């Protein structure tokens, strides 16, 4: 049995579906089994990472490995969760992020990368076998533009020249499944990106071409306007500032394509255009 957290989300759902397709027994940790929409063949068990004591039922029986997504804005309770998982399973595959520091002396901050750094250290220290997946920016994050696309634009964003190598969630899941089902990635922290570098303006242009069949106008937001929008969406201030700082830096110092992605996946990563085509319904 393999336990998948975050199975109702984009990446976790892909992990669960690909595991089922590979013939593995899969259990999903969900807050409400009756309401959870999961791939066919996945067993839903009630539990919440915010409540470590609730993990008991999900870890009952022969659970060999866990795919861990940390969905909380802080890392309170993370040590207890990771220790509990390690006590009942041999292998933990943690969904981290590209950019996490390997400097053990560095003090983790309380932004996105800081929390991932802290979780990585907990997993390394607790799990008998571990893999730390470090994908770049998620293509799914560009779904924040979907409401503006539905109205025909313009699409508003800060730092339209920020260039990224966005990752399709199916690719992240493929790497996770390899880490869960084989020994190929035990003790590894592989990076994964998409195969191309696109500015946010080019991403918006791609959405327009694929979804609407026409260009979409881009309206540049000020940092203050973008910050207010992120905060109104419920993101913590430390996360918002880190995102905007990163986007500002990417205008002059763009991300790079991670080497070895094709070797990691056993195929070429999906392009952003392919991702948009897979998510036309989400934009419409």
What pLDDT score does 248 carry?
96
SS3 34: coil
The CA distance from 156 to 142, in Å, is 12
Given CATH 3.30.200.20, say whether it is the number of domain 136-168+193-284. no
Q: Where in the chain is the domain with CATH 3.40.50.720?
A: 1-135, 136-168+193-284
Residue 249 tokens read as 């830096």
Helical pair 237-250 and 223-232, crossing angle rounded to 10 deg? 140
Using alpha carbons, select from 112, 146, 139 the residue that is nearest to residue 10.
139
Report whether 69 contacts 12 (CB < 8 A).
Answer: yes
The CA distance from 244 to 226, in Å, is 8
| Ranges under pLDDT 70 in the chain | none
What pLDDT score does 72 carry?
82
Using alpha carbons, select from 125, 200, 133, 131 the residue that is nearest to residue 161.
200
The CA distance from 12 to 66, in Å, is 11
Which fold, 1-135? Rossmann fold (3.40.50)
Cis preceding-peptide flag for 154 (omega within 30 of 0): yes
Query: Cα 3 from chain centroid?
Result: 17
Q: Which residues of 129-156 are buried (b: 16+ CB within 10 A; e: fewer)?
A: bbbbbbbbbbbbebeebeebbeeebebb
Helix ranges restricted to H, the chain: 10-21, 78-88, 112-126, 146-150, 169-181, 200-207, 223-232, 237-250, 261-265, 272-278, 280-283
What pLDDT score does 141 carry?
95
Using alpha carbons, select from 194, 201, 74 the residue that is nearest to residue 139.
194
Residue 268, number of CB atoms within 10 A of its CB? 10
Q: pTM of the full predicted structure?
A: 0.94
Q: What is the pLDDT of residues 183-214, one digit of tens each?
A: 999 999 999 999 999 999 999 999 999 999 99
């Amino acid at each position: 049995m393999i336990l998948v957290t975050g199975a109702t989300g984009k990446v976790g759902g892909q992990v669960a579906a690909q595991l089922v397709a590979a013939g593995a027994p899969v259990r999903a940790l969900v807050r409400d089994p009756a309401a959870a929409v999961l791939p066919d063949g996945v067993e839903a068990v009630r539990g919440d990472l915010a409540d470590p004591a609730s993990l008991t039922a999900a870890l009952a029986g022969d659970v060999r490995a866990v795919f861990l997504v940390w969905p909380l804005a802080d890392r309170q309770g993370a040590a207890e969760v990771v220790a509990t998982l390690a006590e009942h399973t041999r292998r933990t595959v943690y969904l981290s992020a590209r950019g996490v520091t390997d400097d053990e002396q560095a003090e983790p901050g309380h932004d996105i990368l800081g929390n991932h750094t802290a979780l990585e250290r907990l997993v390394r220290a607790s799990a008998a076998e571990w893999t730390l997946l470090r994908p770049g920016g998620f293509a799914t994050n560009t779904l924040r533009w979907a409401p503006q696309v539905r109205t025909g634009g313009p699409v508003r964003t800060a730092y339209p020249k920020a260039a990224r190598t966005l990752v399709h969630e199916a690719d992240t899941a493929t790497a996770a499944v390899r880490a869960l089902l084989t020994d190929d990635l035990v003790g590894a922290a592989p990076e994964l990106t998409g195969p191309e570098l696109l500015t946010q303006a080019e991403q918006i242009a791609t959405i327009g071409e694929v979804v609407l069949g026409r260009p979409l106008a881009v309206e540049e937001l000020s940092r203050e306007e973008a910050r207010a929008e992120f905060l109104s969406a419920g993101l913590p201030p430390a996360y918002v500032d880190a995102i905007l700082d990163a986007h500002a830096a990417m205008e002059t110092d763009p991300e790079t394509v991670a080497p070895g992605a094709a070797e990691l996946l056993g195929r070429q990563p999906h392009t952003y255009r392919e991702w948009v085509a897979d998510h036309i319904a989400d934009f419409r």
